């Protein structure tokens, strides 16, 4: 399996990564090699009768009492924000600047 340049760029867009030209080339080659290994699971046949694992340890529902409790104070939650303003997280406008 070999990843085309367009596929690499498509996946990078989905993952919100802005790759450099060098990375596009490098990841295309490296991921193709890793995918070749990964595709050996194709040798296991159809596996139509196998249930996919959803959790490794058998667990009953993990429920807790629905009781109000204090959460992080707003100023603490905002303390690490790159740009806090008016009691919230400020971000650039989705429509600002570039045309992408």
Binding site for other proteins (CB under 8 A): 3, 7-8, 11-12, 14-20, 23, 27, 30-31, 33-35, 37-44, 47, 50-57, 59, 62, 64, 72, 76-77, 79-83, 89, 91-98, 100
Q: Which residues pair with 84 in a beta bridge?
A: 89
Q: Which tokens in the block code for residue 95? A: 């429509």
Shortest reach from residue 21's CB to other proteins, in Å: 12
* Residue 39 CB contacts under 8 Å (≥ 6 apart), including other chains: 1
Shortest reach from residue 67's CB to other proteins, in Å: 11
Q: Which tokens in the block code for residue 55? A: 């959790």
């Amino acid at each position: 399996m070999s990843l085309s340049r367009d596929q690499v760029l498509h996946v990078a867009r989905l993952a919100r990564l802005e790759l450099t030209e060098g990375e596009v080339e490098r990841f295309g080659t490296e991921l193709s090699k890793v995918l070749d290994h990964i595709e050996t699971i194709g040798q296991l046949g159809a596996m139509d009768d196998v249930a996919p694992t959803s959790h490794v340890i058998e667990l009953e529902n993990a429920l807790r009492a629905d009781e109000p409790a204090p959460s992080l104070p707003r100023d603490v939650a905002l303390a690490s924000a790159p740009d806090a303003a008016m009691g919230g997280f400020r971000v650039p406008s989705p429509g600002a600047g570039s045309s992408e």
